[in-house]
Amino acid sequence: MKSKLAGNQDALAGLIFIALGAIGLLIALRYEFGSSTEMGPGYFPRVLSLLLVGFGGVILLRGLRSGVAVDGIWAWLPLALVTLSIILFGAAIERLGLVPAVALLIAVSAYAGHEFRPGEVAILTAVMAIFAAAVFVWGLSLPYPLFAWSF
């Protein structure tokens, strides 16, 4: 078993997943868990965080066995843009509404990719905004306004 973590592609990915899952779990512990029939606000975050920690553990072990080295350098700009898009989504959903928040999320995160095609981004934004509205607002009746202009 190769135990070198630094420069091990899968082991680093596993550690990132474990860290993100642990952070999510710590945050979710503040919310009521509920039961399977009456889920509390902390039910899904805890379950998803535990799944992320589990997947991270599997990927970490796989990485330690295979020892695939990281090729190239860290892509800091895409990482920062994807993180920024998530923060913008969280900040914009109550102030601007679901549709503008999804548009911000898609546009900023798409700019993090290798290719940015405005037409494809616009189509993806429209499809994802309609999907999010159909699932979360109309399907699950979550209290998110589609458009809001409250600053």
Residue count (the chain):
151
- Total domains present in the chain: 2
Radius of gyration of the chain (CA): 19
Residues 13 and 37 in one domain: yes
Residue by residue, DSSP assigns 68-108 as PBPPS---HHHHHHHHHHHHHHHHHHHHT-HHHHHHHHHHH
Is residue 2 in some structural domain? no
Is residue 103 in some structural domain? yes
Parent domain of 128: 76-138
Is residue 41 in some structural domain? yes
Is the pTM value of this prediction over 0.75? no
**Residue of 79, 77, 82, 137 whose CA lies nearest to 105:** 82
Q: What are phi and psi of 150, to 5 degrees?
A: -115, 115
Residues 61 and 94 in one domain: no
pLDDT in tens, the chain (151 residues): 555 777 788 899 999 999 999 999 999 999 998 888 888 889 999 999 999 999 999 999 999 888 778 777 878 899 999 999 999 999 999 899 999 999 999 999 999 888 889 999 999 999 999 999 999 999 988 888 999 876 6
Is residue 126 in some structural domain? yes
Residues 90 and 60 in one domain: no
Is residue 3 in some structural domain? no
